[in-house]
């Protein structure tokens, strides 16, 4: 049975294009008013998943439910879903207000109602007074906001957004992230958002879905995804990490970089290969004589808030972030508290990529 509180359910969704599997066995639910983000590298199947939810693509196997009803075969215009596409296409021959009004005119709403709603949308996306402008006279960011207004004006229950901020520069992207998030909260609309930008996903979402090669690797809230990544791929994709091959010696003891380190994980077995993930900010630089290991600083980069230092222990090169700079060439000690050593089941060394694989 499908749980009532779920707005959308994907059950066992697979998709093949010309015999190549691009999605395999996706199970996912979206709750009402949730901000859910599909995150993953190019070609992992984000857009395809979104298009299946929107009805622009049919899955090869599996079922799409909306409020418990099977909508797998339902065409897009019969779904309570609106989409802002990766390559948003405004009508170049229509001005701003006619672009936004397009869907409402098709629905044959009264002129006054259309005008009222269009003006409310222009207000919402901070483009009051732009109604009569031609879309071609607008900047990329303004056009993007019109594309969002055009989708929101139909008051969909669910808005699908495919990399809607991809074309914007960093500053505008940050502004729009906040704007979109607050719009979503004010309007109480469910957002399904696609991005390959991990920071964007972590800032905006209630739930992050990490994908790779057509498979979901992890679903969780941003903090869980960051603090407890399911495997080394997620850890690496979600932030900077030192990822090392290691051996679980026994419960709460792991061997890497030539030494045994106490850790907090157990249940992996004895003398089994594992991946060890350590965030650069979790490695402490201490006096050479009191560290668990010692190494030489081989490079120093100032990154705005912290310094990024590469430290070579002979066995391993660690990336370390610290607000205190150690000069290049100096000998330092490194110390890692057990809690900050994350043990994971090893990922395959070479991820197998099917022919359709990454671009």
Ligand X SMILES: Nc1ncnc2c1ncn2[C@@H]1O[C@H](COP(=O)(O)OP(=O)(O)OP(=O)(O)O)[C@@H](O)[C@H]1O
The residues binding ligand X (CB under 6 A) are 17, 22, 40, 42-48, 86, 196, 356
CB of 23 to ligand X, least distance (A): 8
> Which is nearer to ligand X, 142 or 195 (by Cβ)?
195
Q: How far is the CB of 124 from ligand X (least distance, A)?
A: 27
> In the chain, what is the straight-line distance between the N-terminal and C-terminal CA atoms, in Å?
38
- The neighbour count for residue 90, using CB atoms within 10 Å, is 18
Shortest gap between Cβ of 135 and ligand X (angstroms)? 24
31-50 residues in contact with Mg ion (CB under 5 A) are 47
* Cα–Cα distance for residue pair 48/222, rounded to 1 Å: 23
Rounded CA gap, 133 and 224, in Å? Answer: 45
CA distance 223 to 167: 27
Residue nearest to Mg ion (CB): 47
Please report, for the chain, how many H helices and E strands are present, in that order.
8, 20
The DSSP bridge pattern shows strands 35-39 and 284-286 to be: unpaired
Instruction: Quote the least distance from Cβ 211 to ligand X, whole Å.
Output: 7
Looking at the Cβ atoms of 43 and 246, the one nearer to Mg ion is: 43
The answer to whether 323 touches 340, Cβ cutoff 8 Å, is no
- Least CB distance to ligand X at residue 43 (A): 4
Minimum distance from residue 42 beta carbon to ligand X (Å): 3
Nearest-approach distance from CB 23 to Mg ion, in angstroms = 12
Residue (46 or 321) nearer to ligand X, CB: 46
The interface partner of residue 79, options being Mg ion, ligand X, none and the CB cut-off 5 to 8 Å by kind, is none
Instruction: Enter the DSSP assignment of 348.
Output: P
Q: Which does 48 bind (CB under 5 to 8 A by kind): ligand X, Mg ion, none?
A: ligand X
Query: Which CB sits closer to ligand X, 49 or 97?
Result: 49
Question: Which does residue 196 bind out of Mg ion, ligand X, none, counting CB within 5 to 8 angstroms by kind?
Answer: ligand X
Closest CB to ligand X among residues 47, 184: 47
Closest CA to 214 of 13, 359, 18: 13
The residue among 350 and 359 lying less far from Mg ion, judged by its C-beta, is 359
Residue 43 interacting entry, from ligand X, Mg ion, none, C-beta within 5 to 8 Å by type: ligand X
**Closest CB to ligand X among 45 and 222?**
45
Burial 269-303 (b: 16+ CB within 10 A, else e): eeeeebbbbbbbbbbbbeeeeebbbbbbbeeeeee
Beta-carbon contacts of residue 75 (< 8 Å; ≥ 6 apart): 55
By the criterion CB under 5 A, which residues form the site for Mg ion?
47
């Amino acid at each position: 049975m499908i749980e009532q509180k779920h707005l959308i359910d994907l059950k066992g969704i697979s998709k093949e294009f010309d015999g190549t599997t691009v999605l395999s066995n996706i199970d996912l639910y979206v709750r009402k008013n949730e901000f859910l983000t599909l995150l993953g590298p190019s070609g992992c199947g984000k857009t395809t998943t979104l298009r299946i939810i929107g009805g622009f693509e049919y899955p090869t196997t599996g079922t799409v439910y909306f409020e418990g009803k099977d909508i797998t075969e339902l065409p897009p215009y019969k779904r309570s879903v609106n989409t802002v596409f990766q390559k948003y296409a405004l009508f170049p021959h229509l001005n701003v207000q006619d672009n936004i009004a397009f869907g409402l005119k098709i629905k044959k709403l009264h002129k006054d109602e259309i005008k009222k709603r269009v003006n409310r949308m222009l207000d919402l996306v901070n483009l009051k007074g732009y109604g009569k402008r031609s879309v071609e006279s607008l900047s990329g960011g303004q056009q993007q906001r019109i594309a969002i207004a055009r989708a929101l004006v139909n008051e969909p229950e669910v808005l699908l957004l495919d990399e809607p901020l991809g074309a914007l520069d960093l500053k505008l992207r940050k502004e729009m992230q906040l704007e979109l998030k607050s719009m979503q909260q004010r309007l109480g609309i469910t957002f399904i958002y696609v991005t390959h930008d991990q920071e964007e996903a972590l800032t905006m979402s209630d739930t992050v879905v990490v994908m790779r090669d057509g498979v979901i690797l992890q679903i969780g809230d941003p903090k869980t995804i960051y603090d407890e990544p399911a495997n080394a791929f997620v850890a690496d994709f979600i932030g900077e990490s030192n990822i090392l091959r290691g051996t679980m010696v026994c419960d709460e003891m792991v061997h890497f970089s030539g030494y045994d380190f106490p850790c907090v994980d157990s249940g992996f077995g004895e003398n089994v290969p594992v991946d060890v993930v350590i965030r650069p900010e979790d490695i402490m630089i201490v006096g050479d004589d009191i560290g668990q290991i010692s190494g030489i600083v081989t490079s120093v980069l100032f990154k705005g808030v912290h310094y990024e230092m590469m430290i070579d222990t002979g066995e391993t090169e660690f990336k370390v972030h610290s607000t205190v700079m150690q000069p290049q060439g100096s000998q330092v000690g490194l110390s890692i508290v057990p809690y900050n050593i994350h043990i994971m089941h090893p990922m395959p060394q070479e991820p197998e990529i099917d022919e359709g694989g990454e671009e």
